[in-house]
């Protein structure tokens, strides 16, 4: 059981939330989007949100700035959040024009808002769970897509709620966070997406 919960923290790492939201959009959007257009968005988003942060991690680890992929200390987390915010801004400004994919554009705007809030809390010495921020962002975004496109995503939403609970259990088991930090991460992620819904729903 312990190995399973440890694996969950890796499998549902916050780095994967942006690409998961991107794939969710292209999977459920009823409007026709060519494979060329999809790859033109999915590939750069994958590179900017997964590959480049991993490269940054190894660079920072080699120079002794960070020590764990989970950014255990507040200092390590601040580096990770700064990098993510910068990369999300690049996606919003360069990869996804607002008038092209409105729904996906505001998903990343919400992620930026959530990460900025988490960064501000770090300055107050509070470590909100980025795992839960990512999971709740996905959950609210998927709910928004379901309403927006009038598609029944009950099964996917139910599975995501279950996975969110498992991720929270994993973080508690690993003693990475307490319940307050998990709850705060969930609220930040969900609320940041909720604020953007009025712009595209």
Residue 135: per-residue pLDDT: 94
71 has a pLDDT exceeding 80:
no
Q: Which residue has the higher pLDDT, 74 or 163?
A: 163
> DSSP letters of the chain?
-HHHHHHHHHHT-GGGHHHHHHHHHHHH--S---HHHHHHHHHHHHIIIIIHHHHHHHHHHHTTS---TT--SHHHHHHHHHHHHHHHHHIIIIIS-TTT-HHHHHHHHHHHHHHHHHHHHHHTT----HHHHHHHHHHHHHHHHHHHTT---HHHHHHHHHHHHHHHHHHHHTTS--HHHHHHHHHHHHHHHHHHGGGT-
What are the tens digits of pLDDT across the range 81-102? 999 999 999 999 988 876 678 8
What are the tens digits of pLDDT across the range 17-56? 999 999 999 999 887 777 778 888 899 999 999 999 999 8
104 has a pLDDT exceeding 90:
yes
pTM of structure? 0.91
């Amino acid at each position: 059981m312990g190995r399973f919960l440890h694996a969950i923290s890796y499998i549902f790492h916050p780095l994967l939330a942006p690409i998961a939201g991107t794939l969710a959009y292209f999977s459920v959007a009823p409007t026709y989007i060519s494979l060329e257009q999809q790859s033109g968005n999915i590939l750069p988003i994958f590179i900017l949100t997964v590959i480049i942060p991993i490269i940054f991690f190894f660079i920072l680890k080699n120079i002794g700035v960070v020590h764990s992929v989970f950014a255990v200390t507040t200092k390590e987390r601040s580096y990770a959040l700064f990098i993510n915010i910068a990369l999300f801004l690049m996606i919003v400004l360069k990869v996804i024009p607002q008038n092209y994919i409105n729904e996906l554009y505001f998903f990343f705007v919400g992620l930026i808002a959530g990460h900025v809030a988490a960064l501000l809390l770090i300055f107050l010495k509070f470590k909100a769970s980025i795992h839960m921020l990512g999971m709740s962002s996905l959950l609210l975004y998927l709910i928004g897509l379901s309403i927006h496109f009038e598609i029944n995503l009950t099964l996917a939403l139910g599975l995501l709620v279950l996975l969110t609970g498992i991720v929270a259990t994993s973080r508690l088991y690993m003693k990475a966070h307490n319940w307050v930090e998990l709850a705060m991460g969930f609220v930040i992620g969900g609320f940041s997406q909720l604020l953007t819904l009025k712009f595209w729903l």
